[in-house]
Amino acid sequence: MVAVPHPGTPEYASMLRYAWRVCAVASLGLILIGVAGSTLNVALPVVVRHFRAGPLESGWILLSYLLVMTASMVFFGRVADLLGRRETYLVGFALFTAASLLAGFAPGVWFLVAMRVLQAAAAAMILANGAVIITDAFPPDRLSQGMGVYIGTLSVAQLAGPTLGGFIAEAAGWQWIFWVNVPAGIVAVVWGALTLRKVPRGPRRPVDALGNALIFAALCAALLALSEAGSRGLSSPVVYGGAALFAALVPLIVLVERRAAHPVLDLRLFAGRVLVFGNLSSFCNALARAALVLLAALYFQAARGVDAFTAGVSVLPVAVGMAVASPVAGVLRASPYLITVGGSLLSSLGLGLLALFADPATPYWIIGVALFLAGCGSGTFLTGNTTLMMRALPSDSLGVVNGLRVMIMNVGIVLSVGLSLSLLTSSVSAGVRDQVYAGTLAKLSPVAVDHLMSGFRATYVVLFAVAVLGTLCAMLAKAPARPR
């Protein structure tokens, strides 16, 4: 660990200036990833209509990205410990830029999925190291401020992303949803190379290839079962097969990881109460919030019949709430524990309102308030929980354990999208599910829209229940009082 200069000294001021430059570089990476995700959430119907994609293909345009990013997060955390965080971070920027360029030239839907996989690997390189780079750069007494700005940039990306995605899809074509990342990616590579300092590499330990492969296979099985349930119903043999494979792989993963010399899921590092319940609350919060923008965008397009640009504007309260709450939470004098619990409660309240009032005839201001509260809760929770967790991580394995922390959160994100799409589309007949993804169901019949709305309400009820469970876990994440 680098010695921290005393506040008020020139060395401390120099350290703080460098820390904010690092925060700016890391935040740009988060903006790239946030924009890439939020623009496609809104513009997905335009892409689906262009490729004439079916429900399974439509789901995997989103799920492939989330799956690969999640499964490779810890792997790239280990790679960064071995090869250098700066180097891994910059390679991630370069690969993300190249994949975005190629995605715009996709001749077919599966080529687009392949480019999304490359984007996901690059995003994992960036996400697995962003919070670690910031934690290394900031003095402990300013870490909460830096983390608040860092998380807040994700809010800015999600603020601009839906409107930008809807506008680009309608005005310039779906290709520009990906090409807009290219100039920003080039700036990120150059700026990062000039700003980030090299840091000592970690000990050379082997990568747990078997563990990574098993986790990837388990997530693939779970997502395949969820997406197939949404496209063909629960009676499909693929649903049973995927669920059975997932159930068989989970105990195998635990057995393999307990015997591995350097496991990707090192359960010994999560023996502390803060890390156990902090990760559980993070998982639940991600599961409850991750699909919110996608669900809202589909609601406005498929149920209310608006275009992609109008839908993008309509979901802005989520990102506005995050953009307002994240930096405010970073400067509050309350403990990260209280900020985490408060954010989780706000998220639960927003989702509860959506479950109560989801209907095409509901005045927009009610939906907007619910989305804003959910966004405020997510921004507050992410700032508090990230700060709480980073303070509790062991310094000698910071990269790999932070990668594991982010991976657990992203498992929630992956399952959130898969579960939400499956619950939503199971409410309508198989013959019209294509039109849900294409955003054209509102033009079909009022009866089909009524069926879809029952799916929206059921989905929001499930997400609300998960958010409440996350709040209980957040409450249990308080460190035990030290004996006097």
User: Per-residue DSSP letters for 243-289?
Assistant: HHHHHHHHHHHHHHHHH-SS-SS-GGGG-SHHHHHHHHHHHHHHHHH
Token reading at 430? 């198989």
**Residue type at position 123:** A
The pLDDT of residue 231 is 58
User: Per-residue DSSP letters for 278-334?
Assistant: HHHHHHHHHHHHTTHHHHHHHIIIIIS---HHHHHHHTHHHHHHHHHHHHHHHH-SS
Residue 483 confidence (pLDDT) above 50: no
Name the 3-class secondary structure at 118: helix
What is the arithmetic mean of pLDDT over 129-157? 78
Q: For residues 470 and 281, is the Cβ–Cβ distance under 8 A?
A: yes
Token reading at 448? 């089909």
Q: How far apart are the first and last CA of the chain?
A: 28
Which pLDDT band holds residue 423 (cuts at 50, 70, 90)? confident
pLDDT tens for residues 267-310?
Answer: 665 667 787 888 899 999 999 988 888 888 888 887 788 887 78
Residue 79 confidence (pLDDT) above 90: no
Residue 484 confidence (pLDDT) above 50: no
Candidate from 103-112, 332-341, 467-476 with smallest mean pLDDT: 332-341
| Range from 238-242, 380-384, 459-463 that averages highest in pLDDT | 459-463
Closest CA to 93 of 188, 24, 191: 188
The pLDDT of residue 1 is 46
pLDDT tens for residues 35-78?
Answer: 777 777 777 888 888 888 777 777 778 778 877 887 777 778 77
Distance (Å, whole) CA 295 – CA 315: 10
Q: What is the mean pLDDT of the chain?
A: 81
pLDDT tens for residues 310-350?
Answer: 887 888 888 788 878 877 887 777 888 899 999 999 999 99
Which pLDDT band holds residue 351 (cuts at 50, 70, 90)? very high
Enumerate residues 6+ apart whose C-beta is below 8 A from 380: 325, 326, 328, 329, 339, 340, 342, 343, 346
Which pLDDT band holds residue 230 (cuts at 50, 70, 90)? low
The pLDDT of residue 442 is 67
pLDDT tens for residues 169-203?
Answer: 777 788 888 998 899 889 989 988 888 877 655 55
The CATH superfamily label for domain 10-207+264-475 reads MFS general substrate transporter like domains (1.20.1250.20)
The pLDDT of residue 216 is 80
What is the arithmetic mean of pLDDT over 448-452? 78
The pLDDT of residue 51 is 87
What is the arithmetic mean of pLDDT over 21-32? 86
Of 364 and 223, the one with more pLDDT:
364
Residue 401 confidence (pLDDT) above 50: yes
The pLDDT of residue 101 is 94
Could you write out the three-class secondary structure of 44-93?
A: HHHHHHHHCCCHHHHHHHHHHHHHHHHHCHHHHHHHHHHHCHHHHHHHHH
Percentage of the chain with pLDDT > 90?
A: 20
